[in-house]
Chains A and B, each alone.
Chain A
Amino acid sequence: MAEQVKDVSRLSAAESLARGLSIPRPPLWLIGSWAVGRLAVVLTAAAIRPSIWTFDLWDGRWYDLVARSGYLFVPGRLSDPAFFPLYPILLRGLHALGVSWAIAGPLLSNLAFPLALALFYALTRELFDASLARRATIFLAIFPLGYVFSMAYPESVALVFIAAAPLAAMRGRWWLAAACAGAAGLTRPEGLFLLLPLAGIAWQQRRALDATGRGATLAAVLAPTAGAVAFPLYLASVLNDPLAWTRAQQAWHRSFGITRIVTAFSRLPGYVSYDPLFVRDIRDVAFFFLYLGLLVAARRVGTPLPWLALAAGIVVLPAFSGSFTSIARFGLVAPPLFWGLAGITKNARAERGVQALSLVLLVLATLSIGYVFP
């Protein structure tokens, strides 16, 4: 192993990238499940409103605003420092290549998603057997909340980095893992939790690494935090306010505290109302409890503890902001949830049943684009 790690350090950057993230040729079922999921989303969205704008709604507008005009913190109002920067930077890059603002978001998300699926499959293959990897990948491709992967939201890009960083680390390409982990931290706050599986992988490989390798390992473990820290540093330089992200979150009624989970639960009865948004709120609460169940299932299939901690952080921590809002969407970038789902569907009939239910819910959830927020 030490030999292998030394050899890796002599590779050129391009070779390292190619080897670190090399994925097997996507099997037909992967392409098929991706196509079925996307068709379900696109056709349903087209039925609501035959326009690309369907996929550019809600938070997509905020990312679009950041990409066009940069950040501006407006005290006491909803403002854009609540949104992490890498996705709007990529939108700006696409726009510079001649893609219109309206198309850039949906195009970027839809290009990133098949890559995310392939990387997720490769990662799952490294951790589990091929059968579980297949089931988990198909569930991810057609998951009910998966319509977000086609919208101008950063989830598909975040998933690319969240799958790529540990995959590269498991293959001993720690500098590549550091770059991907840093990018994940710059894309979504959930990227921060990558330090847990990366630390776990580093611990497993500790005996095979020399001093240089250990340095790269430490860099990769710190990289998600470093990537995320780059955001407040930038906000400090342009807005003179490194806490603009936190303060912008408060306008969305999110402020973190130990007792805020009690607030989240105490608000539950108020979710039942005539406001159409209550559908979203009820859905998010339902998915919160579903995710907790899937975490238990993930543990049963032998998911390593650092990965479980990552998923628990992604699912449970937002509840400490005093709200369950959007937890259903946040869970999309937590791979262990899909490993758990694959774990409870070993039986072919159960697998087909969950797939069918997932597709139906995906169509219904896509219909909700016209009514409520994700």
Chain B
Amino acid sequence: MRQALLSVAMGLAGATAVAGAGWALEAAALPPPEHADQVAAAAIGWLAEHPFAVDVFHAGHHRLHGACTQGSFRAGHGRGVVHGTLISLRPGPVVVFARHHQVVRIHGAPLRFLPPSLAAAVGCPRRLASTLDRATHFGDSLRVERSYAANQPALKLELRRVHDERLTLYVSPQRARPLVAILARDGKVATARIYLGNTTPQALRHFHISPWPNR
């Protein structure tokens, strides 16, 4: 009996040593994630969880509302259904960014001071998530610092300039919920106050969004 207990104790001690050595090896050999990457990952989590957002855009001296969502939409005028990211600006156009860089304008004329592509890049959750996700794959392309935005303390997450584009995202300090995004591209700057939420029929009607019903 005593010998059996000794064997079990040795076996368990050996297995614990293996687990401990494995953990120690990982902890010693692998670098911990950067704080900026962790903040970006948490922000991506919010953006992935909420594909629908209502935005308040500022571009030039203009201020306008918009909404962004993902899914399938009636293209209108007998053009069938398009799938992708839809952005609706009020006042302004309703545009769907479909796969293979296809852009389908459902109605309304584009705004000179806020092109739909710029509005989508700064105000659409999935677009922002993709941009942040790409940044997490390249070392030191993200910087984080304490700041203030949307009338509250925030973390300022800055993406390294890529070509002529610079994105700054302000997130809540505790849980990294996205608050404000600023995107400078091609000499134009757009700011979006982002309100992540759930799709409601009223919001869809307000922003002239006609989703194609799921069957």
Docked pose: A74 CA to B132 CA in angstroms: 10
Which residue of chain B is the closest to A76 with respect to CB atoms?
B48
CB distance from B112 to the nearest CB of A (A): 34
* Interface size of A in residues (CB-CB distance below 8 Å): 51
Q: Does B64 contact A (CB under 8 A)?
A: no
A214 within 8 A of B: yes
**Cα distance A32–B100 in the bound complex, in angstroms:** 48
- Residue of B3, B13, B33 with most partner-chain A CB within 10 A: B33
CB distance from B9 to the nearest CB of A (A): 7
A89: shortest Cβ distance to chain B, in Å?
A: 4
B22: contacting residue among A67, A216, A231, CB under 8 A: A231
Dominant secondary structure at the A interface: helix
Pair B30/A92 contact, Cβ less than 8 Å: yes
Tell me if A222 and B22 are in contact (CB < 8 A): no
Residue of A nearest to B42 (CB): A75
A215 engages B9 (CB within 8 Å): yes
**Would you call B23 and A233 a contact (CB within 8 A)?**
yes
Question: Is A71 a contact of B33 with CB atoms below 8 Å?
Answer: yes
| In contact, A215 and B23 (Cβ under 8 angstroms) | no
| Chain B positions 175-212 with a Cβ under 8 Å from a chain A Cβ | none
- Interface pick from A48-56, A178-186, A254-262, A339-347: A178-186
Asked if B38 CB lies within 8 Å of chain A CBs, one says: yes
B24 nearest CB across to chain A (Å): 9
By the criterion of a CB under 8 Å from any partner CB, how many residues of chain B are at the interface?
43
Which residues from A are CB-within-8-Å of B44? 74-77
Q: Interface residues of B: mostly helix, strand, loop or mixed? A: helix
State which residues 213-257 of A face B: CB under 8 Å.
214-223, 225-227, 229-231, 233-234, 237-239
User: Does the CB pair A219–B26 fall under 8 Å?
Assistant: no
Q: Which of A73, A181, A222 contacts B41 (CB 8 A)?
A: A73
- In angstroms, Cα B16 to Cα A239, docked, is 22
**Residues of chain A in range 168-185 having any CB-CB distance to chain B below 8 Å:** 175, 178-179, 181-182, 185
A68 at the interface (CB under 8 A from B): yes
From A70, A219, A229, give the contact of B30 (CB < 8 A): A70
- Residue on B with the closest CB to A233? B23
Q: How far is the CA of A182 from the CA of B21 in the complex (A)?
A: 9
B20 to A: closest C-beta gap in Å:
8
Chain B contacts for A237, CB-based, 8 A: 23, 27
Please state if B45 and A215 are interface contacts (CB–CB under 8 Å).
no
Given A218-B12, A222-B12 in contact, is the A234-B27 Cβ separation under 8 Å?
Answer: yes
Chain A residues with CB under 8 A of B13: 215, 219
Q: Pick 10 A–B contacts, CB within 8 A, sort by A.
A: A69-B33, A71-B33, A76-B49, A178-B14, A212-B6, A218-B10, A219-B17, A222-B18, A233-B22, A234-B22
B interface residue numbers (CB < 8 A to A): 3-4, 6-23, 25-27, 29-34, 37-38, 40-42, 44-45, 48-49, 129, 133, 136-137, 139
Knowing that A212-B6, A218-B8, A219-B13 are A-B contacts, what are 7 other residue pairs whose CB atoms are under 8 Å apart, sorted by A's residue number? Answer: A70-B33, A211-B4, A218-B7, A222-B18, A226-B19, A230-B26, A231-B26
